[in-house]
């Protein structure tokens, strides 16, 4: 049965790849169907902040482990072994702990000059053009280049890494190119990373891959396939997160000129603006989990083995958690958004994503007198996944 709200014209049924603004749908579902099973996909959906947060806090019941499904595809096996995003504790804790120090406060302070140089180089390449495509020219290449340097990958291989990132995340803005096969690209990347790991075992350097090669867990070193999976995860997930955060930040500021003016006037407001973007327009607007037992959520029994979509995008607009949630406010405090998830799977790369977004936006605003979004924005999959973002700039 389909529920329809006569006051808004919104129905409960909605495609999972709908790129229209989901805010009216989120409001309807929180109010009338906070826990809902759709007949089309056979999945359960959870919409309210308290319920989403509670589920993310309970990995024993809401499992992230999808290794069996991914391992059925040969090219994905190395990616699966080291991908702690698709693991539950204790395996998740073992692998995540090894790389956590690379994203600490001191590490980010040391990375900031590198990020600034990369952003300025990309803006130098674009300077003089009155119009540019933000995803292609800044938001997409920046995190790939940053991660390549962090991992100790040769700068000469940037074009190769850039190509793999485009194929494996779906952010391929080259309309003239034939779409590549993701499994084939992943296989190529696995081979490349394995060769790099082997060389780092023989001759370690100051980079993150070298530190992982030398790390020990309970007296054991990581296997090569685990290392391939960890590095692949950082390249793919880390790239997409930062790309979308920069693009969504520009869209939010363009849609709220008074807030953009406040940020231009006070660069110290940038961190708060980024947090509000993560709440208001986060790219990871849903997280998938599988129930390990029957569990009751908001009065409804979800059976064991059910696939559950936890709508963080809806939770971030829940009025029970955020006063006036439809207002974009760069000074919002507190801001308990779920833009980077919550609990044991809180995004490991959140400090890096925040750093990259802050530097990219800060340098873009500092080097321009104005930035305006042009018609022709393209999406893929959802309202917050941006494929193309044309902008008009007036350089300072």
What is the pLDDT at residue 174?
52
252 alpha carbon, distance to own chain's centre: 17
Give pLDDT, residue 147.
92
**Is a pLDDT exceeding 60 seen at residue 176?**
no
| Range of the structural domain that residue 178 is part of | 4-395
Q: How far apart (Å, rounded) are the C-alpha atoms in residues 168 and 393?
A: 30
**Confidence band, pLDDT 50/70/90 cuts, at residue 179:** low
Cβ atoms of 59 and 345 within 8 Å: the answer is yes
Residue for token pair 């700068």? 155
Q: How far is CA 80 from CA 75, 243, 324, in A?
A: 9, 23, 41
Q: Which is more confidently placed, 23 or 94?
A: 23
CATH code for the domain of 81: 1.10.630.10
Q: Please tell me which residue, 158 or 305, carries the higher pLDDT value.
A: 305
- Measured between alpha carbons, how far apart are the two ends of the chain, in Å? 56
Cα distance between residue 59 and residue 310, in whole Å: 13
pLDDT digits (tens, 9 = 90+) for 61-93: 999 988 777 666 666 666 677 778 778 888 888
**The pLDDT value given to residue 175:** 44
Instruction: Round to whole Å and give the CA distance between 31 and 34.
Output: 7
Tens digit of each residue's pLDDT (9 = 90 or more) over 324-382: 999 999 999 999 999 999 999 999 889 999 999 999 999 999 999 999 999 999 998 89
Contacts of 149 (CB under 8 A, 6+ apart): 114, 118, 155
Alpha-carbon span 2 to 379, nearest angstrom: 27
Hey, how many other C-beta atoms are within 10 angstroms of the C-beta on 252? 19
DSSP 303: P
The mean predicted confidence, pLDDT, of the chain is: 89
Burial class (CB in 10 A: 0-12, 13-18, 19+), 190: buried
Task: Work out the average pLDDT over 137-157.
Answer: 92
Q: Of 88, 78, 84, 109, give the one whose Cα is nearest residue 98.
A: 84
Residue written as token pair 């800044």: 138
pLDDT for the residue numbered 96? 84
Provide the whole-model pTM.
Answer: 0.92
| 197-233 exposure pattern, b = at least 16 Cβ within 10 A, e = fewer | beebeeeeeebbbbbbbeeeeeeeebebbbbbbbbbb
Per cent of the chain over pLDDT 70 is 92
In this structure, what DSSP letter does residue 182 have?
Answer: H
Higher-pLDDT residue of 139 and 88 is 139
State whether the Cα torsion 156-160-165-171 is positive or negative. positive
The helix (run of H) or strand (run of E) holding residue 380 is: strand 378-380
Q: What is residue 181's predicted lDDT score, i.e. its pLDDT?
A: 72
Which range has the worst mean pLDDT, 19-33, 165-179, 293-307?
A: 165-179
Q: What is the mean pLDDT of residues 130-146?
A: 94
Kindly report the number of other CB atoms within 10 A of residue 357's CB atom. 29
Predicted confidence band at 1 (pLDDT cuts at 50, 70, 90)? very low
pLDDT at 132: 95
Q: Strand, helix or coil at 137?
A: helix
Question: Considering its fold, how many domains does the chain have in total?
Answer: 1
Q: How far apart are CA 9 and CA 98, in angstroms?
A: 50
Whether the CB-CB separation of 180 and 75 falls below 8 Å is answered with no
Is 162 strand, coil or helix? helix
Band of residue 291 on the pLDDT scale cut at 50, 70, 90: very high
The secondary structure element, H or E, covering residue 62 is strand 62-63
Please say if the pLDDT value at position 28 is more than 70: yes
Note the pLDDT of residue 380.
Answer: 86
Q: Inform me whether the pLDDT recorded for 171 exceeds 70.
A: no
| Proportion of the chain above pLDDT 90, given as a percent | 64
Kindly state the average pLDDT of the residues 182-187: 79
Distance, CA of 281 to chain centre: 12
Write down the pLDDT at residue 311: 98
Residue 172's pLDDT band, with cuts at 50, 70 and 90, is low
pLDDT score, position 180? 62
Distance CA 385, CA 241 (A): 10
- DSSP-assigned states of every residue in 219-272: TEEPPHHHHHHHHHHHHHHHHHHHHHHHHHHHHHHHH-HHHHHHHHH-GGGHHH
């Amino acid at each position: 049965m389909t529920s329809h709200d006569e006051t808004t014209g919104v129905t409960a049924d909605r495609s999972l790849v709908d790129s229209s603004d989901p805010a009216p749908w989120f409001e309807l579902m929180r109010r009338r169907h906070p826990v809902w099973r759709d007949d089309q996909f056979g999945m359960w959906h959870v919409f309210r902040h308290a319920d989403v947060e509670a589920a993310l806090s309970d990995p024993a019941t809401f499992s992230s482990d999808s290794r069996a499904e991914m391992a059925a595809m040969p090219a994905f096996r190395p990616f699966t072994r080291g991908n702690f995003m698709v693991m539950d504790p204790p395996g998740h804790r073992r692998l995540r702990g090894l790389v956590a120090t690379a994203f600490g406060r001191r590490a980010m302070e040391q990375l900031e000059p590198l990020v600034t140089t990369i952003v300025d180089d990309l803006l130098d390449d674009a300077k003089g053009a009155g119009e540019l495509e933000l995803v292609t020219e800044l938001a997409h290449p920046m995190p790939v280049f940053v991660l390549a340097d962090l991992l100790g990958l040769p700068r000469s291989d940037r074009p190769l890494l850039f190509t793999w990132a485009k194929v494996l995340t779906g952010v391929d803005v080259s309309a003239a190119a034939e779409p590549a096969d993701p499994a084939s690209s992943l296989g190529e990347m696995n081979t490349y990373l394995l060769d790099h790991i082997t060389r780092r075992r023989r001759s370690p350097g100051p980079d993150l891959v070298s530190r992982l090669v030398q790390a020990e867990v309970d007296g054991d070193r990581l296997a090569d396939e685990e290392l391939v999976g960890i590095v692949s995860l950082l390249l793919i997930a880390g790239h997409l997160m930062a790309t979308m955060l920069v693009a969504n930040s520009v869209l939010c500021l363009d849609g709220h000129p008074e807030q953009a003016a406040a940020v231009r006037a006070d660069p110290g407001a940038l961190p708060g603006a980024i947090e509000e973007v993560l709440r208001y327009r986060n790219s990871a607007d849903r997280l998938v989990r599988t129930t390990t037992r029957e569990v009751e959520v908001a009065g409804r029994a979800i059976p064991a083995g059910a696939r559950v979509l936890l709508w963080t995008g809806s939770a971030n607009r829940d009025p029970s958690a955020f006063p006036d949630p439809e207002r974009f406010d760069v000074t919002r405090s507190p801001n308990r958004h779920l833009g980077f998830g919550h609990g044991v799977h809180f995004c490991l790369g959140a400090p890096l994503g925040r750093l990259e977004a802050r530097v990219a936006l800060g340098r873009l605003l500092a080097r321009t007198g104005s930035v305006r979004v042009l018609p022709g924005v393209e999406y893929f999959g959802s309202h917050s996944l941006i494929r193309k973002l044309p902008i008009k700039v007036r350089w300072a």
